[in-house]
């Protein structure tokens, strides 16, 4: 009885172990597909379906995961490729390809090794494009090279379920002697530009200096002109004032003489008074600093004439009263 019980327990344990193993196996057949992945499922060696996001069960002994395809945009940096330009210059060019898988089924079954295929296709396409360009055009036409390569690669990878988004030429390495020649050329170009800039600066400086001298001379001439005009105006005004003063003086003298004659007429000057006035005038003349005196010989006649004139004026005044 005891032996039977032990055998039953052993059988139960074996059954439990088998069931546990089966359960673990079934659990391992469960797959959780992430957002950015696609699962390609084969059943009995043929394509069966493509799993999207979610939990999926893989049929034991029948289904298998052929490949897991990432749907993210991927970047592949390929090694430098030797290419020959149209003018027979060999250089090294490496490219970077940005691509996205659009169809996981085509990506899995379209080509054996998609990345290797893209690399080789990129190398041959690059050689064809560079073979049509000369060295200088190759160094300055990166955008053209990128555009042509992207177009060609995108069209060629359509059967593989791949979308080529961008192709960038990462680096262009001409031979060492070409690089040395280019450096010498660039150095000569920089020196030429430097000399041109220095010459232009010197020319501009001289022009500005000449313009400054010209403006300075013009301003100086204008200042001298204004000074001469002001000086002439001042002299003219001074002369005018002198002439006006002389005219006023002459006017005063004439008025004084007229007043003197009027006083003489009113005073009814006789011959003796006039003679006395002439003597006083001669005395004033003698008081001067002159060393010689010229006395008119007809002084007596002059006095007689003055007396006659005075007498005539007095007679005329009496007649007017009558």
| β-bridge partners, 164 | 99
Mean pLDDT of the chain: 80
Residue-level pLDDT at 27: 83
Per-residue pLDDT tens over the stretch 220-277: 888 888 888 888 888 888 888 888 888 887 888 777 767 766 666 665 555 555 565 5
Per-residue pLDDT tens over the stretch 116-128: 999 889 888 888 8
Query: To 5 degrees, how large is the angle CA 302–CA 303–CA 309?
Result: 90
Residue-level pLDDT at 25: 81
Residue-level pLDDT at 306: 55
pLDDT category at 297 given cuts 50, 70, 90 is low
pLDDT at position 198 over 50: yes
Residue-level pLDDT at 304: 59
Joined together, the tokens standing for residue 222 give: 């204008």
pLDDT at position 286 over 80: no
Residue-level pLDDT at 293: 47
Which residue did the predictor score with more confidence, 209 or 256? 209
| Residue 86, φ and ψ in degrees, nearest 5 | -65, -30
pLDDT at position 303 over 60: no
pLDDT at position 134 over 70: yes
CATH number for the domain running over 74-174: 3.30.479.30
Q: Is 31 helix (H, G, I), strand (E, B) or coil?
A: strand
Using CA atoms, how far residue 139 sits from 45, 123, 133, 173, 251, in Å, is: 50, 18, 10, 9, 104
Question: In the predicted model, what is the mean pLDDT of residues 78-85?
Answer: 86
pLDDT category at 99 given cuts 50, 70, 90 is very high
pLDDT category at 88 given cuts 50, 70, 90 is confident
Least confident of 7-16, 75-84, 273-282: 273-282
Residue-level pLDDT at 2: 45
| β-bridge partners, 83 | 91
Residue-level pLDDT at 273: 57
Using CA atoms, how far residue 114 sits from 99, 147, 249, in Å, is: 11, 21, 126
The rounded distance, in Å, linking the Cα atoms of 138 and 122 is 16
Using CA atoms, how far residue 135 sits from 17, 198, 268, in Å, is: 74, 32, 132
Of the candidates 146, 49, 151, 70, the residue with the CA atom closest to the CA atom of residue 115: 70
Question: In the predicted model, what is the mean pLDDT of residues 82-109?
Answer: 88
| pTM for the model | 0.53
Helix (H) or strand (E) holding 299: helix 299-321
Residue-level pLDDT at 97: 92
pLDDT category at 31 given cuts 50, 70, 90 is confident
Per-residue pLDDT tens over the stretch 145-176: 889 989 999 898 999 999 999 998 888 888 78
Whether 96 and 78 have beta carbons less than 8 Å apart is answered as: yes
């Amino acid at each position: 009885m005891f032996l039977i019980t032990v055998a039953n327990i052993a059988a139960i344990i074996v059954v439990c172990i088998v069931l546990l193993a089966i359960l673990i196996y079934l659990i391992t057949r469960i797959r959780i597909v992430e957002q950015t992945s696609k699962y390609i499922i084969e059943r009995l060696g043929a394509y069966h379906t493509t799993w999207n996001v979610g939990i999926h069960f893989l049929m034991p002994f029948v289904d298998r995961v052929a490949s897991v395809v990432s749907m993210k945009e991927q970047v592949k940096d390929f090694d430098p490729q030797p290419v020959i330009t149209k003018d027979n210059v060999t250089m090294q060019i490496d490219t970077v390809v940005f691509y996205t898988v659009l169809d996981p089924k085509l990506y899995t079954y379209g080509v054996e090794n998609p990345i290797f295929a893209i690399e080789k296709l990129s190398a041959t396409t690059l050689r064809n494009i560079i073979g049509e360009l000369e060295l200088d055009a190759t160094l300055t036409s990166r955008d053209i090279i990128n555009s042509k390569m992207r177009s060609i690669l995108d069209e060629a990878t359509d059967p593989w379920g791949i979308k080529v988004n961008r192709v960038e030429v990462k680096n262009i390495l001409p031979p060492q002697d070409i690089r040395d020649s280019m450096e010498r050329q660039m150095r000569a170009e920089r020196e030429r530009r430097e000399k041109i800039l220095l010459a232009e600066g010197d020319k501009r400086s001289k022009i500005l200096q000449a313009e400054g001298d010209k403006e300075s001379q013009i301003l100086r001439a204008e200042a001298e002109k204004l000074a001469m005009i002001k000086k002439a105006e001042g002299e003219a005004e001074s002369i005018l004032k002198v002439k006006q003063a002389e005219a006023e003086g002459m006017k005063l003298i004439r008025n004084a003489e007229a007043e003197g004659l009027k006083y003489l007429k009113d005073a009814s000057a006789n011959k003796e008074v006039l003679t006395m006035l002439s003597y006083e005038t001669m005395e004033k003349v003698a008081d001067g600093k002159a060393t010689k005196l010229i006395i008119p010989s007809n002084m007596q006649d002059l006095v007689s004439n003055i007396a006659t004139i005075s007498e005539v004026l007095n007679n005329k005044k009496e007649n007017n009263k009558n």
